[in-house]
């Protein structure tokens, strides 16, 4: 079945990639998908098809990103229930759209008193369709190791999201 095999059904290949990525805990890039499909099934495909299959497999593994945001209140409830003393706050718009998230575990809050009195704050853009920014605060402990204090997710690095 060499050549550009147009009958490689995306759901079958997507399911194969889902199983493979769950078993190896790696995210497949299109060039690796192309190689694996050739090695395992003697099926050749274009980079574009491999990209579409990758997207389909990621959706199957991660489910729906919108659903993940809807699950945040339940996750934060259990986080605070199972980690008493932890801070976990979620802010949404009037239409229940995600705005900000802040989490600091009790172990981090209590551990702060044994750390150097310097806080390092950083942010990085999350590369997804929602365009959010991951913010984190950390310090160094007595062993010079990085000690996480808190993290959050916000719409951007602006004054309101850091408060």
Instruction: Label residue 84 by pLDDT band (50, 70, 90).
Output: very high
Retrieve residue 71's tokens.
């699950």
Mean pLDDT, residues 29-49 taken together: 86
Average pLDDT, the chain: 81
134-146 pLDDT tens trace: 899 999 998 999 9
Instruction: Label residue 5 by pLDDT band (50, 70, 90).
Output: low
**Nearest C-alpha neighbor of 13 from the set 47, 39, 52, 63:** 52
**pLDDT of res. 57:** 74
Instruction: Label residue 21 by pLDDT band (50, 70, 90).
Output: low
Instruction: Label residue 1 by pLDDT band (50, 70, 90).
Output: very low
Return d(Cα 135, Cα 149) in angstroms, integer: 11
Domain ranges of the chain: 10-61, 65-161
Return d(Cα 5, Cα 123) in angstroms, integer: 43
29 versus 106: the higher-pLDDT residue is 106
For the sheet with 146-154, list strands across it.
Answer: 87-92, 98-104, 146-154, 133-140, 120-125
Q: Is the pLDDT of residue 78 over 90?
A: yes
89-132 pLDDT tens trace: 998 888 878 888 999 999 999 999 999 999 999 988 877 667 78
51 versus 107: the higher-pLDDT residue is 107
Return d(Cα 117, Cα 115) in angstroms, integer: 6
The CA–CA distances, whole Å, from 67 to 63, 75, 97, 157, 158 equal 8, 12, 12, 24, 26
Return d(Cα 34, Cα 46) in angstroms, integer: 8
């Amino acid at each position: 079945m060499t050549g550009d095999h147009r009958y490689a059904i995306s759901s079958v290949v997507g399911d194969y990639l889902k199983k493979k990525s769950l078993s190896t805990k790696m995210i497949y890039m299109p060039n690796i998908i192309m190689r694996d499909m050739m090695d395992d099934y003697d099926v050749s495909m274009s980079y574009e098809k491999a990209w579409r299959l990758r997207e389909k497999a990621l959706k199957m593994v991660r489910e729906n990103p919108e659903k993940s945001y809807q699950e945040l209140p339940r996750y934060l409830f259990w986080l605070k229930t199972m980690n008493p003393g932890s801070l976990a706050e979620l802010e949404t718009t009037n239409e229940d759209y995600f705005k900000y998230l802040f989490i600091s575990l009790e172990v981090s809050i209590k551990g702060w008193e044994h750390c150097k009195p310097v806080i390092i704050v950083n942010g990085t853009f999350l590369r997804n369709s929602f365009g959010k920014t991951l913010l984190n605060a950390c310090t160094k402990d007595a062993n010079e190791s990085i000690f996480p204090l808190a993290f959050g997710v916000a719409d951007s690095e602006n004054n309101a999201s850091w408060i």
